[in-house]
Chain A
Amino acid sequence: MARMLKFNIFRYNPQDPASVPHMQSFSIDETESMTLFIVLNRLREEQDPSLQFDFCCRAGICGACAMVINGRPGLACHTKTKDLPEEITLMPLPIFKLVGDLSVDTGTWFRAMYKKIESWCHTKKVFDPNAIEERMDNDVAEAIYELDRCVECGCCVAACGTALMREDFLGATTLNRVARFILDPRDERTEKEYFDLIGTDEGIFGCMGLLACQDVCPKYLPLQDVLGKLRKKMAFAAVNNILPSFLKQDIKL
């Protein structure tokens, strides 16, 4: 027997002077293999064409459609209604600036992040188009890719206790990005340079260890491990120069 689903959706269009933030209810009949991608598009086409939300790849690859689904940040496109109760509440991600309804501006936040941590390989080398590529161990390539899989959906930031309290917190996605560069032999930054980037309360030491980031990550990134090792590495980076040699540690990620 097909269910009739009830959706409570946050509505507010900042560009419409008549609009005030409120919740709006919609009913829709559930169909086979239904996802929130199907639901929201049907609602817009059949019930309310002003409804705002973001989708892009609709395949769980691009990270565009993160929202808070029954209290939990997740990607709408791969969320199946059969895994949800009859009544479903959809809210926009917190922390990111609201564009309207369920749509938020993640682009500005992430671009500022790239600048803050200089999210690129720092090297003094110059590319030589006539040379063969520098060699890399395949295991190293796979380890980098493991962390490079982040899709910048913003779920980990939206679920982060620290990020909710202080807006300058870098968040798990950013710290994971730094870890990706630490692993990459092509990035010539020193441990001290990395420490200057993230060895602060806005960085790794702001993390309270609640680890909702890992719980909600739709790509199953090993954020708990990454944050734990990064914290240890940065802690030793801070004190290695005053520790006796037998206590110094170089932590591998």
Chain B
Amino acid sequence: MQIIQTDLLCIGAGLAGERVAIEAAENGFSVICLSLVPARRSHSSAAQGGMQAALGNSAMGEGDSPDVHFSDTVKGSDWGADQECSRIFADTAPIAMRQMAFWGVPWNRVVPGEATYYKGGKPFTAFEKPENEGLIHSRSFGGTAKWRTCYTSDGTGHAVLYTLDNRAAQMGVEVHDKTEAIALIHDGDTCMGAIVRCLKTGELRAYLSRATLIATGGYGRIYRESTNAVICDGGGMIIGLDTGVVPFGNPEAVQFHPTGIVPTDILVTEGCRGDGGTLLDVNQYRFMPDYEPEKAELASRDVVSRRMTEHIRKGLGVKGSYGDHLWLDIRHLGEKHISTKLREVQEICESFLGVDPVHQLIPVRPTQHYSMGGVRTNKDGAAYGLKGLFSAGEAACWDMHGFNRLGGNSLAETIVAGMWVGGKVVEFLAGTDTIFKTEAIRAAQQKQEERIKALISGSNGRENVYAVRNAMFDTIMKGAGIFRNGTDLAESVTKLTEILHRARKVGLRSNGLGANGELSLALKIEGMVKLAQCVCYGALQRTESRGAHTREDFPERNDRDWLNRTLATWANSTDDLPTLSYEPATKVFEIPPGERGYGGGKIIPMDNPPTATPKGAKA
């Protein structure tokens, strides 16, 4: 087996992975990024709307500051966030945006003078200050007090990823694309790299590294209907969970985005509503102000998705051959705005729906979109459980988002956390040496080779991997959708246990040679079912409603008993259920738990509410 050694191994070459890689390369360390796809096809490229950072250049962003951004983020998280991380994020975001501008991102800029914007379908005029001409502009996103989302048309993720990958190429960061890390190499104490399958030839390689970063994005593809790219199947969480010691933080915190299109589940950006688009029902009536008089369509995503589902349940959805949906209306924004600022949306509507959004309504429904949960790290991005293992971006539970993340905060997190965690990885690399144990490498290699042999020979069974995946899809959606309850969750947990047993008996129907897709899926199906089980089991145990986790049988947010973070580990790989433990949501309360100001809902307060600690305090 080929062995490749490097200082830093980034598993994932999207925005978070590459941003960490660049930081290390700039400081003279060798870096290799692994990627399932060429780096620029990473799912970061599909992010449309923008990145939140309190630059305050635009008319509607005036008076913004990192403090306001911090406050919006904590409220958005329903107080589930680690406030130290949210603070680091809000303070660093403006610098990270400017650095991306320096490296070449064509951010949209302030055009001085009177400008017409839309709110809730109605036009209004704002005056963009001449002294801010040419600075980075911002648009409105949900759950924010100010217009704060920096954007490049509606191709922000694409534009930022292309610039960042240019920078990575300049710095000599190697990207080994079409490769997949299928196991971490570790001895229960230290991570030493990964066993990697080449997706061009099918061969296995060992990558040895002093520091290893998991930046593989989310686990949306354990759901059938997801806005995520097909590669977002939780590969990074799976190899973390497989170690038995690295916890999966808040698996049950799964976000549903209000505007996935029907069918195909492709996302149309929150920028549609941020720029003044509205949601309509079967009677083409704008219903959101009835539920959320203040924020209407621009409440946080968990709230809007719940309200849409409530409205559909009242029978006011539009019937279609793919189930009920609602309408997104951006017609009033006009052709010029749509063809420049919402261009990708227009292309998606035309290509996949045959709908021209300048003149027609867009069919939408809430769709799985984002994973707040992930590899649990400390505020430096160092994973719990193994030395030398780090995580950043959507793959990580860092945890600035808690139980609901705001639109524009995740794309920003990738480069902000990438910058921050990158700095910590550099400190680690400068001060730490690792012993690469050949025993651990050989054990990891043999285990993976045996798994592949067993799958090809069918020695464990001949379960069809696609049938197992379909069973998982049905089960997770029944239990852990937008609204959850104890009965359905308990049923899902029981079923997922059976499905897990089937997953362990998968065998291939093809010969498994080369870059075989059936083998790729078969190698991770057991892990995917385990992730699904973490989501459902974590959601079953959490007897409260917080952010995106909504229990119909426990509608209150229960700060007395549940102001905490779930930590799921899979202690023995043959276990049927994860082992759950809990830790306080945050050690520091700059903002003690309170009302979000949208979404309604009752709160069971803490027995001894904390007093606010000073701004920027550390635990």
B217 to chain A, nearest CB (A): 11
A188 in the interface, Cβ–Cβ < 8 Å?
Answer: no
B86 in the interface, Cβ–Cβ < 8 Å?
Answer: no
The interface stretch among B471-479, B511-519, B586-594 is B511-519
Contact A138 B111, beta carbon cutoff 8 Å: yes
Proximity string of chain A (88-118) to chain B, C-beta cutoff 8 Å, 1 when within and 0 when not:
0000000000011001011110110011001
B200 in the interface, Cβ–Cβ < 8 Å?
Answer: yes
Could you tell me the distance between the alpha carbons of A114 and B169 in the complex, rounded to whole angstroms?
A: 7
B446 in the interface, Cβ–Cβ < 8 Å?
Answer: no
User: Hey, which bits of chain B sit against chain A, CB under 8 A?
Assistant: 37-43, 45-46, 95, 97-99, 101-104, 106-111, 133-137, 152-153, 155, 158-159, 162, 165-167, 169-170, 175, 177-178, 199-202, 229-231, 263-264, 266-267, 321, 340, 344, 347-348, 351-352, 466, 508-511, 513-518
Among A13, A99, A115, A133, contact of B513 (Cβ-Cβ < 8 Å) = A13
Residues of A within 8 A of B515 (CB): 15, 52, 99-100, 103
Could you tell me the distance between the alpha carbons of A58 and B45 in the complex, rounded to whole angstroms?
A: 12
Among B41, B106, B178, contact of A62 (Cβ-Cβ < 8 Å) = B41
A30 in the interface, Cβ–Cβ < 8 Å?
Answer: no
Residues of B within 8 A of A58 (CB): 229-230, 264, 266
* 17 A-B pairs with C-beta separation under 8 A: A14-B514, A44-B517, A48-B510, A49-B508, A58-B264, A59-B352, A62-B41, A78-B351, A100-B514, A111-B38, A121-B103, A134-B102, A135-B133, A137-B109, A138-B134, A148-B158, A149-B155
Contact B37 A138, beta carbon cutoff 8 Å: no
Residues of A within 8 A of B133 (CB): 135
Contact A121 B162, beta carbon cutoff 8 Å: no
Could you tell me the distance between the alpha carbons of A161 and B135 in the complex, rounded to whole angstroms?
A: 43
Could you tell me the distance between the alpha carbons of A141 and B155 in the complex, rounded to whole angstroms?
A: 13
Q: With A56-B230, A100-B515 known to touch, is A133 a contact of B166 (CB < 8 Å)?
A: no
Residues of A114-163 at the interface with B, using a CB-CB cut-off of 8 Å, are 114-115, 118-121, 125, 127, 129, 131-138, 140-142, 144-145, 148-149, 151-152
Contact A119 B109, beta carbon cutoff 8 Å: no
Contact B102 A127, beta carbon cutoff 8 Å: yes
A52 to chain B, nearest CB (A): 6
Q: With A50-B510, A52-B517, A145-B152 known to touch, is A106 a contact of B106 (CB < 8 Å)?
A: no
Question: Nearest 4 CB-CB pairs, A to B?
Answer: A15-B514, A135-B134, A107-B38, A50-B510
A60 in the interface, Cβ–Cβ < 8 Å?
Answer: yes
Among B231, B509, B513, contact of A49 (Cβ-Cβ < 8 Å) = B509
Q: How many residues of A contact B (CB 8 A)?
A: 65
Contact B134 A136, beta carbon cutoff 8 Å: yes
Q: With A58-B229, A136-B109 known to touch, is A49 a contact of B104 (CB < 8 Å)?
A: no
Kindly list 20 other residue pairs between chains A and B, CB separation below 8 angstroms, not including A59-B348, A136-B107, A141-B152: A55-B230, A57-B46, A57-B230, A58-B264, A62-B46, A62-B229, A64-B37, A100-B515, A118-B170, A119-B169, A127-B99, A127-B103, A129-B99, A133-B102, A135-B135, A138-B134, A142-B106, A145-B152, A148-B162, A152-B41
Could you tell me the distance between the alpha carbons of A56 and B165 in the complex, rounded to whole angstroms?
A: 18
Contact A141 B106, beta carbon cutoff 8 Å: yes
Contact B201 A107, beta carbon cutoff 8 Å: no
Residues of A20-68 at the interface with B, using a CB-CB cut-off of 8 Å, are 32-33, 35, 44-45, 48-64
Could you tell me the distance between the alpha carbons of A186 and B103 in the complex, rounded to whole angstroms?
A: 8
A55 to chain B, nearest CB (A): 5
Could you tell me the distance between the alpha carbons of A99 and B39 in the complex, rounded to whole angstroms?
A: 17
A215 in the interface, Cβ–Cβ < 8 Å?
Answer: no
Residues of B within 8 A of A141 (CB): 106-109, 152
B572 to chain A, nearest CB (A): 31
Contact A145 B106, beta carbon cutoff 8 Å: yes
Q: Specify which of A14, A78, A148, A151 lies most central, judged by the most chain B CB atoms within 10 Å of its CB.
A: A148
Could you tell me the distance between the alpha carbons of A72 and B433 in the complex, rounded to whole angstroms?
A: 53
A193 in the interface, Cβ–Cβ < 8 Å?
Answer: no
Contact A49 B518, beta carbon cutoff 8 Å: yes
Could you tell me the distance between the alpha carbons of A138 and B263 in the complex, rounded to whole angstroms?
A: 35
A184 in the interface, Cβ–Cβ < 8 Å?
Answer: yes
Q: With A15-B515, A129-B95, A141-B109 known to touch, is A56 a contact of B231 (CB < 8 Å)?
A: yes
Residues of B within 8 A of A186 (CB): 102, 104
Could you tell me the distance between the alpha carbons of A98 and B86 in the complex, rounded to whole angstroms?
A: 45
Contact A120 B230, beta carbon cutoff 8 Å: no
A198 to chain B, nearest CB (A): 17
Q: With A57-B41, A145-B155 known to touch, is A133 a contact of B101 (CB < 8 Å)?
A: yes
Residues of B within 8 A of A50 (CB): 510-511, 516, 518
Q: Specify which of A32, A52, A115 lies most central, judged by the most chain B CB atoms within 10 Å of its CB.
A: A52
Residues of A163-208 at the interface with B, using a CB-CB cut-off of 8 Å, are 184, 186-187
Among B38, B200, B229, B518, contact of A110 (Cβ-Cβ < 8 Å) = B38
Could you tell me the distance between the alpha carbons of A105 and B41 in the complex, rounded to whole angstroms?
A: 13
Could you tell me the distance between the alpha carbons of A59 and B349 in the complex, rounded to whole angstroms?
A: 10
Could you tell me the distance between the alpha carbons of A105 and B38 in the complex, rounded to whole angstroms?
A: 9
